[in-house]
Amino acid sequence: MVHVLLFHHSQGLTAGVRAFADRIRADGHEVHTPDLFDGRTFDSIDEGMAHIRGVGFDDLIDRGVAAADHLPTDLVHAGMSFGAMVAQKLAQTRPGARGALLFESAAPPDYFGTPWPVEVPVQVHAKDADPFFVGEGDIAYARAIVSTSTRGELFLYPGDGHLFLDSSVPAYDADAAAMVHERVRAFLAGL
């Protein structure tokens, strides 16, 4: 069993994010899903991003980091889109990370003040024409991260949907989500 700390995306801890966590739980892992928005969810990425800007991007990242304080250090840090920023920060700055799963987002490897730890395995999953992941340069950051890790993998899926793993939003792609789940299952089993 692996302990996974999964952070939600900009629309909040939606039913689809919870369902994704439940799939990992069904494989026998313990998954923690902190709610960084205190129960609020948003109907669009734009609304969620407005909330993030209103609260403060760095403040929400810090709230996510604090959510790990009461958990073991040997976590797999995971996050979807905005939540991937929290997961990446924890994987890079909190000693003992067992692995990282970054979905649809990645920051520059030096963004959090320390390089990617080579011993931390990482998988990055995104759509190959996602306007956020590809259009905003996250793909280059993801490539840099996976090339630094001794066990790094980048998986791209056809299409332009952002938040394609969340079954409660229109961009959901059941086929791609199933492929992600199989790859995540293998990743966690190999830790």
pLDDT, residue 147, reads 97
pLDDT, residue 162, reads 97
User: pLDDT per residue over 74-115, tens digit each?
Assistant: 999 999 999 999 999 999 999 999 999 999 999 999 999 999
**Cβ 151 vs Cβ 81: under 8 Å:** no
What residues have CB less than 8 Å from 3, skipping those under 6 apart?
A: 29, 30, 31, 32, 71, 72, 74, 75, 76, 98
User: pLDDT per residue over 128-180, tens digit each?
Assistant: 999 999 999 999 999 999 999 999 999 999 999 999 999 999 999 999 999 99
- Kindly list the domain boundaries of the chain, sorted by start residue: 3-189
What residues have CB less than 8 Å from 76, skipping those under 6 apart?
A: 2, 3, 4, 5, 97, 98, 99, 100, 101, 188, 191
User: pLDDT per residue over 8-59, tens digit each?
Assistant: 999 999 999 999 999 999 999 999 999 999 999 999 999 999 999 999 999 9
Q: How far apart are CA 58 and CA 63, in angstroms?
A: 9
pLDDT, residue 84, reads 98
pLDDT, residue 71, reads 97
The CATH class of 3-189 is alpha beta
What residues have CB less than 8 Å from 50, skipping those under 6 apart?
A: none
